Amino acid sequence: MEAPRGFSPNMTSLHAVVLDYVTTQAYSSTAKVLATSRPLSYPPTSLPTDTTSDGPGNQGDGDGDGDETMMDLDDDGVDDDDEASSSRKTEKRPSKGVIIDQDLLDSIERRRVILNHILNGAIIRAVEGLNTYFSSVLADPPANLTSAGSSSVIQHSNGHPSHLSSTYLSSTSSRPTNGGGHPSGSISDHSLPVFLHSYHPSHVRLNLQIQQFIESFRQLTPSSPSSPSSSISSLTNSQTLNNGAGTGTISMTSSSVTLTHALTAAQGLHSEAKKLPADVRAIYLQEIKDVGALFAYTDPETSILKGFLEQSRRIALADQINSAILRSEGRSVQSQLETYARRTTAVYNVLAENGIDPRPPWTSADGQGKEQLAAFWKRQTDERFRLRDFVAQSW
C-alpha cells in the first residue's frame, strides 16, 4: 500500500536518521555515500527504519558508523539477557524501509542543482530546472481548487491546508521568520521572503520573481570590498558579463541589459501580484513596493532594506523551494531529525515554564549515555533544550 503524503516511518537507527536528514536537505553526495554504507544486515536498496537487532550487544561486526549507539539512552542499563530478549522481540517485527534507489538519488541531485542555483543567485536557471523536472511546483492547480472565494489556501510545512485569514497573518509561524509573511514592511527586515512556508505555486513563483529582481539590482550596484555580501558569487552576473567582447563593451552591455531585466522583472511582479486574492495581493504589493525602493539608496547594503540583499534571503528561498519540491513528490518536508528536535524542545520548554528542573541526577553508575546527558545539562545556563548546543557538545 502506498504511504500517505508526508508519511515518515519511525526510525530507531542513527544511520537511518542521518540518511533521512541528508535526503530531505538534498545533500546528494552525502546521501549516495550513506546509502551504500548501510548497516550490514540490510539489503542494498533498503533504509532500515524499524529494527534494533543490530544493537551493540548483539554482534561485534557493526559497520562502525555509530548507528548502533546512543539512540535510546534507556538501553544503557540493561543486562545481556534483557538485551538479547529485546533483540529477539524486535526481529519478529516486519522491517519497514524507505527505498533509496537510483531514481531517488537522481531526484536529490536535481534538487541540489536547483538549490545551488538559488544560493548563487541564478534564479532563471533554477526556474528552468523546476519547469523541467518538477513542473508541478510552479504550475497553477486546477481552477476548481482555487475558486474558494477571497481566501487563499496555504499549505504549511506539516502538509495540512488552512485558509488565509487575519488570524493566520497575525499568528507566529512554528519556525522563526524574522517577519517573513507579515504584511507590513516595518515588521520585517526583508531578510526572508513573505509566505515562506507556503507551497502554493503563485506564492512560490512570486518569491522567485522577486528574488530575480533582487539579483538584477545586485548587478547594478556591485558590493563594496568590505561588504559581507561581496564574497557571494552570482552565476547570473557571470552569465551577463560573458556576453561582452571587451572590457568597455562588457561594462556597458552588462549595465543596460541588467537594467532592462530589472525593469522587466518589476513589471512582471505587479502583473503576477494582481492575480492573487485581495488579502494576499496586499502583502505582495507591499513587498514589491519595498524591493523597488532599493533604487532610492546610494548604498542599499547599509540601508533599512539591506535584508533584501543578504545571503540569508537566498537560503530561506532555497529552503522554501526544497520543501515545495518534496511536497510535490509526496514526501515529508520535515526530516525526522527536525521532528525529534522539535518534540524534545517542546517537552523541555514545558518543563521550564512549569518550574520543573529537567537536569537528571545520573552518574556513571547509570550508564555512559545517561552520564553524558547529565553532564550536558550541568553545562547549560538555562533549562531550555537547544539542538545546536546539544550537537556542539564535546562528548
Mean pLDDT of 356-364: 86
Of 169-183, 294-308, 310-324, 366-380, which gets the smallest average pLDDT? 169-183
Query: Is the CB of residue 8 less than 8 Å from the CB of residue 20?
Result: yes
DSSP secondary structure of 299-332: SGGGSTTGGGGSHHHHHHHHHHHHHHHHHHTT--
The band of 325, judged by pLDDT with boundaries at 50, 70 and 90, is: very high
Q: What is the pLDDT of residue 144?
A: 59
Minimal CA–CA distance to 35: which of 99, 79, 109? 99
6: left (phi over 0), alpha (psi -120 to 50) or beta: left
Question: How many C-beta neighbours within 10 Å does residue 51 have?
Answer: 21
**pTM of the prediction?**
0.69
| 328-366 burial code (b ≥16 CB/10 A, e <16) | bbebbbbbbbbeebeeeeeebeeeeeeeeeeeeebeeeb
270 vs 252, residue with greater confidence: 270
Q: What is the pLDDT of residue 119?
A: 98
The one-character DSSP state at 173 is: P
pLDDT in tens, 174-189: 333 344 444 433 457 8
| Rounded Cα distance, 328 and 107, in Å | 12
Q: Contacts from 223-227 at CB under 8 Å and sequence distance 24+?
A: 223/301, 224/299, 224/301, 227/301
| Rounded Cα distance, 227 and 229, in Å | 5
Mean pLDDT of 332-353: 91
DSSP secondary structure of 11-74: ---HHHHHHHHHHHTT-HHHHHHHHHS--TTS-TTEEE-S--TT-TTT-S---SSSTTSSS-GG
Query: Is the CB of residue 213 less than 8 Å from the CB of residue 272?
Result: no
| Rounded Cα distance, 34 and 42, in Å | 13
Mean pLDDT of 339-347: 91
| Rounded Cα distance, 202 and 213, in Å | 16
| Rounded Cα distance, 153 and 145, in Å | 9
| Rounded Cα distance, 288 and 282, in Å | 10
Radius of gyration of the chain from its Cα atoms, rounded to whole angstroms: 25
How, if at all, do strands 97-99 and 46-48 pair?
A: antiparallel
252 by DSSP, 3-state: which?
A: helix
257 sits in which H/E element = helix 247-273
The band of 387, judged by pLDDT with boundaries at 50, 70 and 90, is: confident
Q: What is the pLDDT of residue 217?
A: 92
| Rounded Cα distance, 140 and 163, in Å | 17
pLDDT in tens, 266-305: 778 988 999 999 999 999 999 999 999 999 999 999 999 9
Of 37-41, 51-55, 302-306, which gets the smallest average pLDDT? 51-55
Question: Phi/psi at 52 (nearest 5 deg)?
Answer: -125, 20
